[in-house]
Amino acid sequence: MTAYAEVDAWTSQGVQVVRISGEVDLTNAIEVRDSISHVASADATVIVVDLSETTYLDSSGIAMLFRLAERIGQRRQELRIVVPANSPLRAALELTDLPQTIPVQHTLE
């Protein structure tokens, strides 16, 4: 995908899961968003972006998640985010009030 991030997708129990591994920053946030949009099934009612293996997410990555939620919402789909409780990303997401816009869960289950 990019030098810093990989995007993988699969369906689990009727839910589209998209895992981002690596780093998301200004250099690749748009490409990551477009990759997620490309692999996300139009038939899925719920799309889960799994950030469990994301090691870095800057403000452009957070903005990308807000834009992605807007784009997915226009397709009448729901976006959810997975961030482990002990992840350093969690504090950044909470500072931006992202959990008030996009549901954030600790695990895929």
Tell me the per-residue pLDDT of 82-95, one tens digit each, with 9 for 90 and over.
999 999 999 999 99
Q: Give the count of domains, the chain.
A: 1
Asked if 81 and 93 count as a contact pair (C-beta separation under 8 A), the reply is yes
CATH number at residue 15: 3.30.750.24
Per-residue pLDDT at 55 exceeds 90: yes
Which is nearest to 55 in space by CA: 97, 26, 83, 95? 83
* Range with the poorest average pLDDT among 22-31, 32-41, 47-56, 86-95: 32-41
Q: What is the signed CA dihedral for 6, 10, 12, 18, rounded to 10 degrees?
A: 40
Q: Which pLDDT does position 40 carry in this prediction?
A: 83
DSSP assignment of 69-95, as one string?
A: HHHHHHTT-EEEEE--TT-THHHHHHH
Residue 59, classed as helix, strand or coil, is helix
| Mean pLDDT over the full length of the chain | 91
Residue with tokens 């981002």: 20
In this prediction, what percent of the chain has a pLDDT beyond 70?
A: 97
pTM: 0.91
Q: Which domain holds residue 14?
A: 5-105
